[in-house]
A and B are shown apart, each in its own frame.
Chain A
């Protein structure tokens, strides 16, 4: 069982893990709400039902007790009247001499609201005294009446009859009244001898009716009164019962004990509260149809159900709203981070919204991305400067071949005593080295660079026995401008090796520095063999530009790369060539003074 529950919980957890945060929050909150509302609703409604059932039965009991109290009070009153009549009047009178009519009349007048008549009858049923009417109807059979018989049979008791029509006395108004008779046996003293008689007190039936009528027992609840045998004494719809139009369960109720009972009568469930009234043995019965109570429940149940659903509905929307408030910023953040994950480092905007925690998270990620940016920039710069240094170092290397050849030429000249030539060559070599070193600077003036080339060409021209001519021109304003050291010389070297070497006629190399707008150009033009343009383009892109193992070993590509490392990718080197026409290598640099270049790119170059 426990395993099953755990499996179930695991399953739900797994299911929720796959769902979005918003969904999880909504569904969990809603589930908790629904369960909570159901528990509250069901327990409330159960409590209500049990308490209202209790209340109804308590209510009935209270009502019945109240009626009992009133009835008891009423009957005691009657008995008191009877007692007064007996002990104060009859016992003290000798009927042969005393007239008890006055006392009786007084007693009747004091209680006339409650009474219909009072009468004292002799053993044979003769009227001894009566109020307010005294003349017996000729048809009246006093000794045959039940009340008379009862009183004569059990002389020690008071007897209450069921309601009947008073039919003893002649009434000039022809009124027939319903009464409840209280009769008792009395001892009559007449001329010293004692005989038995019957004292009759007829209570107005409406007195009992008043007690039971105005009892509120809910919508269709009521109270009725039966005697010990189940005969109805009072019922709010007595005449209807007598007329057989409706029925009452009075005979069954006579057998009930005091307290609450549930009964089904004529298909109707009802709660019956029974109370036996003290002296008479009458039973007060309160009837509350169960439908009265349950229709209340139905209403309450519907009401509860309605409010449970309404509250659930409201909570679902509140949950949806809340969860979207919580989850949406997270979702946005997640999307931003997804972008980041894809490697889209530039221009992503990390969203910062929502609650404090999520904002904080967003801010942290944003600063992290910024840091990443900075670090990557640093790496790029570092790599660039490393490359620059490498290339610079490479560039600074003098082709040992060239040095050896030059020194060899100088030796040869000295041996042939051509000292002037040797001096020129040594001087040029010395200058070449001086500029090559340039106190370790990488950025020098155009004038220096051209001077360097000039020295180089001087040496090469002597070595190649004037096989080519050269010309260096420069617009004067270009001379103080900045250039990278040793970028023209490799191009000139290429022009000599690849352009001139296999040429039959006079080779010609022209170097021209000029300005165009804010740009500085240095053209190296030869009239050598040239090559197709495709090949020329390839020179700048191919990994190696050393085609034949000659030259300084520094490829054109390196030159271009150095320029771009120092000044940016918009600058660089271009080669224009045509077979048999010659080749033009064009260096493209920004027009900058030495100071500007030092302040800008020089910083990183060192």
Chain B
């Protein structure tokens, strides 16, 4: 064969080799593709009890979207400084995205804005309202609040003295719930008093117990699970001595809250679909990593559950996620 033909032969051979690589790059570089996304979820409290369902949603999403999620709780409730330093640490550790439940809007605004320049940040449950285009996964907390208040008005009948238990009021979702509750109750012309409940569960229990014994309130409204649990426990303990008789309403679920609901210590609870919350926050984070346009997120649904309807099929799915 002539030199020219040999050259042509080698050229075409190279072309074939190139084509081979292009065709099989998926298989050759498969390892790279299977590298999971590293996503850090920064929670806003120290207990994991109230977040089990969220975690399950997160785990499912991690499996579905090939992510490796580290779930980080704080050493004390609602500690903004710690949350900021954790945010910084996770970014430095090379997280591909951050999912965060901001303790409050003021302290976290700047760190989140800063973090957003490098990697996607998604907020969950609570958010920082002052940052535009910050992806946020939560249910409509104000509607949840109003729905709960509606239940109070419906069941309360003659009761007119309502105490709102305030805790973590910096959190945007708590604020929203608070607003929802307040608007509805105020419009019904009930008396309202405000109880400040501390973060620590024991202190919260003690405070609630003290208030229950002294206050005139006949109806309590708690805006998050830990406050609700503390107040309900206090009420239950007081019931044994037969000293207090209040109706308790609240938002959020723990196993204790559910059993107290079943025992009718708690009258009704508002439950958001926490499983979806966890799942969608990770899905959104992965979408953001892949620079996907906003997909139409299904809204997070919620329900007001009392002891009578807690075992109907929809509510039991909401209240008792499958434990795997």
**Chain A residues engaging chain B, CB cutoff 8 angstroms:** 137-139, 164-165, 167, 171, 174-178, 205-206, 209, 237-240, 242-245, 302-303, 306, 309-310, 313, 317, 320-321, 324
A176 with B258: CB separation less than 8 A? yes
A310 with B16: CB separation less than 8 A? yes
Give bound CA distance, A237 to B259, whole Å. Answer: 26
Do A174 and B276 contact each other (CB < 8 Å), given the known contacts A139-B264, A239-B60, A313-B12?
Answer: no
- B323 CB contacts on chain A under 8 angstroms: 177-178
Closest residue on chain A to residue B13 by CB atoms: A313
Give bound CA distance, A206 to B301, whole Å. Answer: 27
B262 at the interface (CB under 8 A from A): yes
CB under 8 Å from chain A, chain B span 96-154: none
B291 at the interface (CB under 8 A from A): no
CB under 8 Å from chain A, chain B span 36-75: 56-57, 60, 64
B322 with A239: CB separation less than 8 A? yes
Q: How far is the CB of B262 from chain A (nearest CB, A)?
A: 6
Give bound CA distance, A591 to B241, whole Å. Answer: 166
A303 with B23: CB separation less than 8 A? yes
B205 at the interface (CB under 8 A from A): no
- A177 CB contacts on chain B under 8 angstroms: 323
Q: How far is the CB of A236 from chain B (nearest CB, A)?
A: 9
B9 with A243: CB separation less than 8 A? no
B60 with A244: CB separation less than 8 A? no
Q: How far is the CB of B280 from chain A (nearest CB, A)?
A: 7
B19 at the interface (CB under 8 A from A): yes
CB under 8 Å from chain A, chain B span 1-52: 1, 5, 9, 12, 16, 19-20, 23
Q: Considering residues A164, A245, A306, A310, which has the most beta carbons from chain B within 10 angstroms of its beta carbon? A: A245
Give bound CA distance, A310 to B14, whole Å. Answer: 11
Closest residue on chain A to residue B279 by CB atoms: A245
Give bound CA distance, A209 to B23, whole Å. Answer: 39
Of B64, B256, B279, B311, which is within 8 A of A174 by CB? B256
B255 with A139: CB separation less than 8 A? no
Chain A interface: which of B193-201, B209-217, B242-250, B313-321? B313-321
B311 with A239: CB separation less than 8 A? no
B178 at the interface (CB under 8 A from A): no
- A306 CB contacts on chain B under 8 angstroms: 16, 19-20, 23
- B57 CB contacts on chain A under 8 angstroms: 239, 243
B273 at the interface (CB under 8 A from A): yes
Give bound CA distance, A324 to B276, whole Å. Answer: 72
B166 at the interface (CB under 8 A from A): no
- A174 CB contacts on chain B under 8 angstroms: 255-256, 258-259
Tally of A-B residue pairs with Cβ under 8 A? 77
**Chain B residues engaging chain A, CB cutoff 8 angstroms:** 1, 5, 9, 12, 16, 19-20, 23, 56-57, 60, 64, 255-256, 258-259, 262-264, 273, 275-276, 279-280, 298, 301, 307, 311, 313, 316-317, 319-324
8 contacts between A and B (CB under 8 A): A139-B263, A164-B313, A164-B316, A175-B255, A242-B317, A243-B301, A303-B23, A309-B16
- B20 CB contacts on chain A under 8 angstroms: 306
Give bound CA distance, A177 to B258, whole Å. Answer: 13
- B279 CB contacts on chain A under 8 angstroms: 240, 243, 245
A237 with B60: CB separation less than 8 A? yes
Do A245 and B280 contact each other (CB < 8 Å), given the known contacts A303-B23, A306-B19?
Answer: yes
- A302 CB contacts on chain B under 8 angstroms: 23
B320 with A243: CB separation less than 8 A? no
Q: How far is the CB of B18 from chain A (nearest CB, A)?
A: 11
- B273 CB contacts on chain A under 8 angstroms: 243
Closest residue on chain B to residue A164 by CB atoms: B316
Give bound CA distance, A171 to B256, whole Å. Answer: 11
- B307 CB contacts on chain A under 8 angstroms: 139
Of A138, A175, A320, which is within 8 A of B1 by CB? A320
Closest residue on chain B to residue A325 by CB atoms: B1
Q: How far is the CB of A191 from chain B (nearest CB, A)?
A: 35
- B60 CB contacts on chain A under 8 angstroms: 237, 239-240
- B263 CB contacts on chain A under 8 angstroms: 138-139
- Apart from A165-B311, A178-B322, A317-B9, what are 4 other A-B pairs with CB-CB below 8 Å? A243-B317, A245-B298, A303-B23, A321-B1
Q: Considering residues A165, A237, A239, which has the most beta carbons from chain B within 10 angstroms of its beta carbon? A: A239
Give bound CA distance, A243 to B60, whole Å. Answer: 12
Closest residue on chain B to residue A321 by CB atoms: B1
Do A239 and B23 contact each other (CB < 8 Å), given the known contacts A139-B307, A167-B311?
Answer: no
Of A238, A244, A313, which is within 8 A of B298 by CB? A244
B298 with A176: CB separation less than 8 A? no
Give bound CA distance, A379 to B289, whole Å. Answer: 100
Give bound CA distance, A321 to B313, whole Å. Answer: 77
Of A137, A237, A245, which is within 8 A of B262 by CB? A137
Do A245 and B276 contact each other (CB < 8 Å), given the known contacts A174-B255, A239-B321?
Answer: yes
Closest residue on chain A to residue B283 by CB atoms: A245
Closest residue on chain A to residue B300 by CB atoms: A243
Give bound CA distance, A309 to B301, whole Å. Answer: 56
Of B12, B262, B275, B316, which is within 8 A of A139 by CB? B262
- A175 CB contacts on chain B under 8 angstroms: 255
Closest 9 A-B residue pairs measured CB to CB? A242-B317, A174-B259, A174-B255, A176-B320, A243-B276, A165-B320, A165-B316, A239-B275, A243-B275
- B276 CB contacts on chain A under 8 angstroms: 243-245
Give bound CA distance, A544 to B321, whole Å. Answer: 136
- B256 CB contacts on chain A under 8 angstroms: 174
- A240 CB contacts on chain B under 8 angstroms: 60, 275, 279
Q: How far is the CB of A333 from chain B (nearest CB, A)?
A: 20
Closest residue on chain A to residue B259 by CB atoms: A174
Of B259, B280, B301, B320, which is within 8 A of A178 by CB? B320
Give bound CA distance, A240 to B321, whole Å. Answer: 10
Give bound CA distance, A137 to B264, whole Å. Answer: 11
- A167 CB contacts on chain B under 8 angstroms: 262, 311
Give bound CA distance, A177 to B321, whole Å. Answer: 9
- A238 CB contacts on chain B under 8 angstroms: 322
- A242 CB contacts on chain B under 8 angstroms: 317
A313 with B16: CB separation less than 8 A? yes
Give bound CA distance, A174 to B52, whole Å. Answer: 14
Closest residue on chain B to residue A238 by CB atoms: B322
Give bound CA distance, A433 to B272, whole Å. Answer: 155
Give bound CA distance, A243 to B5, whole Å. Answer: 66
Give bound CA distance, A237 to B322, whole Å. Answer: 10
Give bound CA distance, A523 to B321, whole Å. Answer: 142
Q: How far is the CB of A332 from chain B (nearest CB, A)?
A: 16
Q: How far is the CB of B41 from chain A (nearest CB, A)?
A: 18
Give bound CA distance, A176 to B253, whole Å. Answer: 13
Closest residue on chain B to residue A167 by CB atoms: B311
Q: How far is the CB of B110 from chain A (nearest CB, A)?
A: 33
B280 with A205: CB separation less than 8 A? no
Give bound CA distance, A189 to B226, whole Å. Answer: 50
Q: How far is the CB of A321 from chain B (nearest CB, A)?
A: 6
Closest residue on chain B to residue A310 by CB atoms: B16
Q: How far is the CB of A390 from chain B (nearest CB, A)?
A: 60
Q: How far is the CB of B222 from chain A (nearest CB, A)?
A: 18
Q: How far is the CB of A318 from chain B (nearest CB, A)?
A: 10
- B316 CB contacts on chain A under 8 angstroms: 164-165
Do A176 and B317 contact each other (CB < 8 Å), given the known contacts A303-B23, A313-B12, A321-B1?
Answer: no
Q: How far is the CB of B137 from chain A (nearest CB, A)?
A: 12
Give bound CA distance, A164 to B255, whole Å. Answer: 16
- B64 CB contacts on chain A under 8 angstroms: 237
Q: Considering residues B56, B258, B322, which has the most beta carbons from chain A within 10 angstroms of its beta carbon? A: B322
- B23 CB contacts on chain A under 8 angstroms: 302-303, 306
Do A239 and B56 contact each other (CB < 8 Å), given the known contacts A137-B262, A167-B311, A306-B23?
Answer: yes
Give bound CA distance, A28 to B80, whole Å. Answer: 81
Closest residue on chain A to residue B308 by CB atoms: A139
Give bound CA distance, A139 to B311, whole Å. Answer: 11
B322 with A205: CB separation less than 8 A? yes
Give bound CA distance, A408 to B120, whole Å. Answer: 148
- B317 CB contacts on chain A under 8 angstroms: 239, 242-243
